[in-house]
Amino acid sequence: MRRGMSIFNVTSLTLGFAFLYLPIVLLVVYSFNDSRLVTVWGGFSTRWYTALLSNQQLLDAAWVTLRVALVTATVATVLGTLAALALTRMGRFRGRTLFAGMVYAPLVMPEVITGLSLLLLFVAIGLERGFWTVTLAHITFTLCFVAVVVQSRLVSFDRSLEEAAMDLGATPLKTFLTVTLPIISPAVAAGFMLAFTLSLDDLVIANFTSGPGATTLPMRIYSQVRLGVTPEINAVCTLFIVAVTALVLAVSLVTKRETLAREAAARAM
């Protein structure tokens, strides 16, 4: 805008971001509180973090969550990228409307419905609930997020590059691997990250589809949170936030560098 930023805009941004971040900051601050009473500041301490290391239940849950999220993100990235390719590169195929509907619906579907319906499916086909049922459920809803992220990249890129490669005799597979995939790779990486964090974060769907021996970290946190606010949970949550934030920032830096490099290359051509 010509006049630069108005006072109104600066104020709304400041208040908006304060609202978004203040609760998280308070949670982190109170995780270093020496007092067991979360509301009274008893001095700085890291004892809740040391206590975590001996909480075997929590560590087990964290390990389960990490494995579920890794398998989920890997499979969902492959399936989601294929779904995005089908939606953008295949024109009108039979059953496209149904397919598009199934890809977009889970984005807004209330989690209780997804969770309950998958649980009933697993029971109906006699699949025992545990690690794999949670993972299957997570792949199903996260692949749709991957598809949307990759699709938005696919619609905005220059198809003449693909056509040129094909005209020069590259097979469709080779064209995909050497032209399409490098161009969409930041979006694929972002989709992987999104699937990973959505899986890490999910409570409701896991609550329905998990079984004994596959308690995830959010399920464990939830069962303790219901009993009230404690500094240990603040500490777990802080570690969780730090890990996810670091991951997101790292990926956004990497993809940004790639974008810059690509733009520089495009300009040089």
Partner 1 sequence: MRRLSARANDIGRSRLVVAGPYLWLLLFFLAPFLIVLKISVSHDVIAQPPYAPVLDPSKGWAGMREFVGGLDLQNYAYVFGDAIFHESVLQSLVIAAVSTLIILLIGYPIAYGMARAPRRLRPLLLIAVILPFWTSFLIRVYAWMGILAREGFLNQTLRALGLIDEPLELLSTNTAVYIGIVYSYLPFMVLPLYAVLEKTDESLLEAAADLGAPPWKSFWLVTFPLSLPGIVAGSLLCFIPAVGEFVIPDLLGGSETLMLGKTLWTEFSVNRSWTVSAAVAVLMLIVLVGPILVYQHMQARSFEGGR
Residues 62-81 that bind partner 1 (CB under 8 A): 78-80
Minimum CB separation of residue 75 from partner 1 in Å reads 9
List the one residue from 35, 36, 46, 90 that touches partner 1 (CB under 8 A). Answer: 90
List the one residue from 110, 212, 264, 267 that touches partner 1 (CB under 8 A). Answer: 110
Residues 243-262 that bind partner 1 (CB under 8 A): 244-245, 248-249, 252, 256
List the one residue from 36, 42, 112, 181 that touches partner 1 (CB under 8 A). Answer: 112
Adjacent-strand bridge partners of 44? 33
Minimum CB separation of residue 124 from partner 1 in Å reads 5
Q: Which amino acid is at 17?
A: F
Residues 123-152 that bind partner 1 (CB under 8 A): 123-124, 136-137, 139-140, 143, 147-148, 151-152
- Separation of alpha carbons 199 and 96, rounded Å: 27
Using the Cα atoms of residue 54, residue 55, residue 56 and residue 58 in order, give the sign of their dihedral. negative
Q: Which residues does 65 contact at the CB level (< 8 Å), separation at least 6?
A: 199, 200, 216, 217, 218
Minimum CB separation of residue 39 from partner 1 in Å reads 4
Minimum CB separation of residue 114 from partner 1 in Å reads 8
List the one residue from 142, 180, 197, 199 that touches partner 1 (CB under 8 A). Answer: 197
Can you spell out the DSSP letters for 48-114? Answer: HHHHHHT-HHHHHHHHHHHHHHHHHHHHHHHHHHHHHHHHHHS-S-TTHHHHHHHHHHHHHS-HHHH
Adjacent-strand bridge partners of 33? 44
List the one residue from 229, 250, 260, 261 that touches partner 1 (CB under 8 A). Answer: 229
